[in-house]
Amino acid sequence: MLDIKFIRENPEIVKQNIRNKFQDQKLPFVDEVIALDKENRSIKQEVEELRATRNRLSKEIGKLMGQGRKEEAEEVKAQVSADGARIDELTAREREVEAGLHKAMLLIPNIIDPSVPLGRDDSENVERERFGEPRVPNFPIPYHTEIMERLGGIDMDAAGRVAGNGFYYFLGDVARLHEAVIAYARDFMIDKGFTYCIPPFMIHGNVVEGVMSQADMDAMMYKVEGEDLYLIGTSEHSMVGRYIDQILPEAALPQTLTSYSPCFRKEKGAHGLEERGVYRIHQFEKQEMIVVCRPEESMDWYEKMWRWSVEFFRSLDIPVRQLECCSGDLADLKIKSCDIEAWSPRQQKYFEVGSCSNLGDAQARRLKLRVKGTDGRMFLPHTLNNTVVAPPRMLISFLENNLQPDGSVRIPEVLRPYMGGKELLQP
């Protein structure tokens, strides 16, 4: 959400930003916000003037009564009563205007960083850099669920009977591998100086509104029936939500947290063959990194964060690339974002395994999170988030890149302490 003063003073910049995101249907919201803001300020001014007049007249009533001028006092009382009725009328309208203003402002996207490439959708995202040499082995690579089945590690039929499509049972070494990757990711980020955290897995509606757009919420979130609670789609939601209505001292910045959580997503719509299995599912686990920092430091953190994702995957011998998200692929709160994509030898292409995002001050503004500077003045911090790792999806690339000709799966050295010293998973 943008600062109302910025919208008021820079409507054309706001509109051009909307055009750059190819969301022309949102252009009318800018004029609506400006009109509602003008009416809101006019109402407040009139109410303030009426209250001042009412206070002055109320004092006159006592003087007139003391002087025995009852008839004049009654006339002033009538004026005071009329002013009170008008104040009540304006106050009711003020609530309506402010609600409409808030709703419209939530629909206006954040101002994207000038470095973001312009493009309509993810098909126009830009590859910036590759890390590791993509390999295609000289033996056939089965579909990922077949690799897992040969390891005795997955039962999707039973999961379908129990919960429906988009769920799974992991068993044996595959289940252990899943948890080993999460544990390694936890320690990887702790070694980077981050504080480990396990957050709530459900959040209130006002926190949802504070951390994401309405469109993203509708597409992602599961609501608990009859309660003001939503299952989180990523731990970023509750981790950043932790700061709602807080004032942090500047000395407490940056806040650097790494969090574990299960994640729940609707994942609406039909998907292709390669997005079946455990690629696109309703439930998964994730290790995340969150930073709350000074505005002038956020781009430096952004660069460090996505590079840590690259370092993590390369330590597991998985080739990756960084793909910069174009303007049309940015969620409304983001000012800059990139995807980390892992190499799939089976498909002979890269696919997304994580994303890094700088949200500027959008979440802080929505959550009413402020920082008290060393000079005593308040400012809004910037928030960033990045996926460290999100199995089961990343296991697809892990299994494919570490599969051996005999069907066994090699365990990279960094992961062996978390796998009881195992070097291979045997079919």
Per-residue pLDDT 10s for the chain (427 aa) are 899 999 999 999 999 999 999 999 999 999 999 999 999 999 999 999 999 998 888 888 888 888 888 888 888 889 889 989 999 999 999 999 999 999 999 999 999 999 999 999 999 999 999 999 999 999 999 999 999 999 999 999 999 999 998 899 999 999 999 999 999 999 999 999 999 999 999 999 999 999 998 888 888 899 999 999 999 999 999 999 999 999 999 999 999 999 999 999 997 554 555 557 898 899 999 999 999 999 999 999 999 999 999 999 999 999 999 999 999 999 999 999 999 999 999 999 999 999 999 999 999 999 999 999 999 999 999 999 999 999 999 999 999 999 999 999 999 999 999 999 999 999 9
Whole-structure pTM value: 0.91
Coil/strand/helix, residue 154: strand
Instruction: Using alpha carbons only, give the angle 17, 23, 28 rounded to the nearest 5 degrees.
Output: 85
Q: How far apart are CA 202 and CA 204, in angstroms?
A: 7
Reported as a single tens digit per residue, the pLDDT across 123-137 is 999 999 999 999 999
Question: In a 10 Å sphere around its CB, with 0-12 CB exposed, 13-18 middle and 19+ buried, how is residue 99 labelled?
Answer: exposed
At 162, which amino acid appears? V
Distance CA 118, CA 112 (A): 10
CA distance 94 to 396: 54
Asked if 27 and 18 touch (Cβ cutoff 8 Å), the reply is: yes
Can you say how many angstroms the Cα of residue 8 is from the centroid of all Cα atoms in its chain? Answer: 26
Query: Is residue 403 within 8 Å of 147, Cβ to Cβ?
Result: yes
DSSP output for 258-326? EEEEEEE----S---GGGTTTTS-SEEEEEEEEEEE-GGGHHHHHHHHHHHHHHHHHHTT--EEEEEPP
Nearest alpha carbon to residue 425 among 409, 401, 404: 409
Max CA separation in the chain (angstroms): 109
Structural domains in the chain? 4-106 (1.10.287.40), 122-425 (3.30.930.10)
Residue in the structure block whose two tokens are 């930073």: 291
Q: What is the DSSP string of 338-359?
A: EEEEEEETTTTEEEEEEEEEE-
pLDDT digits (tens, 9 = 90+) for 277-322: 898 899 999 999 999 999 999 999 999 999 999 999 999 999 999 9
Sort 248 into a burial class: Cβ within 10 Å, 0-12 / 13-18 / 19+.
middle
Give the integer Cα–Cα distance in Å for 367 and 113: 22
E-assigned strand segments in 47-144:
126-131
Phi and psi at residue 350, in whole multiples of 5°? -95, 150
A 10 A CB-CB count for 373 gives: 14
> Residues near 35 by Cβ (< 8 Å), separated by ≥ 6?
none
Strand partners for 222: 231
Is residue 237 a contact partner of residue 200, using CB atoms and an 8 Å limit?
Answer: no
Task: List the structure tokens of 110.
Answer: 């954040």
Rg of the Cα atoms in the chain: 28
